[in-house]
Amino acid sequence: MNRVIGLILMMAAGSGAMAADGDVSIGKNVALATNASTDPVPMRDATEETISLSRDSQGTVLRSFTVEGEDRVSIKFDRPRISLDLDPRTAPGLGWENTWDKVEVFPAVTAQSAMNPPRFTGQPWLQEFAQDDVVVFNPEAPDLTSWKLTIVDSRGKPAAVRQGEGSPPTDLAWDGRRDDGTCAWPGLIYSFVMETVDLAGNQRTFSGRGFGLPAYRLTGQQEDILVFSGADITADDLFSPVANLPADPLIIETASWLNQAPGLTSAIEIRATARSHRQAQQLADLVSVALAGLVCGDPQRINTVVNVVGDAPDQGVIEIASKPGA
pTM, two decimals, is: 0.61
Banded model confidence at residue 316, pLDDT cuts 50, 70, 90: very high
Angle between helices 277-292 and 249-259 (to 10 degrees): 70
C-beta of residue 143 within 8 angstroms of C-beta of residue 199: yes
pLDDT, greater one: 62 or 183: 183
C-beta of residue 308 within 8 angstroms of C-beta of residue 280: yes
Domain segments of the chain: what residues? Answer: 2-76, 88-117, 135-212, 217-322
C-beta of residue 97 within 8 angstroms of C-beta of residue 107: no
C-beta of residue 310 within 8 angstroms of C-beta of residue 275: yes
pLDDT, greater one: 295 or 63: 295
Banded model confidence at residue 93, pLDDT cuts 50, 70, 90: low
Banded model confidence at residue 88, pLDDT cuts 50, 70, 90: low
Q: What is the pLDDT of residue 230?
A: 92
- Where is mean pLDDT largest: 28-42, 48-62, 92-106, 216-230? 216-230
What pairs with residue 142 in β-bridges? none
pLDDT, greater one: 324 or 186: 186
Q: Which parts of the chain fold into alpha helices (H)?
A: 2-22, 105-115, 249-259, 277-292
pLDDT at 271 over 80: yes
pLDDT at 169 over 80: yes
| Tens-digit pLDDT profile for residues 179-233 | 999 999 999 999 999 999 998 889 999 888 899 999 999 988 788 999 999 999 8
Phi and psi, residue 156, nearest 5° = 85, 10
Banded model confidence at residue 89, pLDDT cuts 50, 70, 90: low
Q: What is the pLDDT of residue 303?
A: 93
- Which of 96-100, 196-200, 241-245, 257-261 shows the lowest per-residue confidence on average (mean pLDDT)? 96-100
pLDDT at 79 over 60: yes
135-212 and 217-322: identical CATH topology: no
CATH architecture for segment(s) 135-212? Sandwich (2.60)
- H/E segment holding residue 216: strand 216-218
Q: What is the pLDDT of residue 114?
A: 66
C-beta contacts of 206-214 below 8 A and 24+ residues apart: 208/137, 210/154, 211/135, 212/186, 212/187, 212/188, 213/134, 213/135, 213/176, 213/184, 213/185, 213/186, 213/187, 213/188, 214/129, 214/130, 214/134, 214/186
Q: What is the pLDDT of residue 2?
A: 46
Q: How many residues does the chain have?
A: 326
What pairs with residue 152 in β-bridges? 158, 191
How far is the first Cα of the chain from the last one, in angstroms, to the nearest whole number?
109
DSSP state of 85: -
pLDDT at 87 over 80: no
Q: What is the pLDDT of residue 244?
A: 79
CA 302 – CA 286 distance, rounded (Å): 12
Q: What is the DSSP string of 127-161?
A: --SEES-SEEE-----SEEEEEEEEE-TTS-EEEE
Q: What is the pLDDT of residue 35?
A: 45
| Tens-digit pLDDT profile for residues 17-41 | 443 443 433 343 434 334 444 455 4
Number of H helices, E strands in the chain: 4, 16
pLDDT, greater one: 256 or 13: 256
- CATH for 217-322? 3.30.1330.60
Q: What is the pLDDT of residue 109?
A: 62
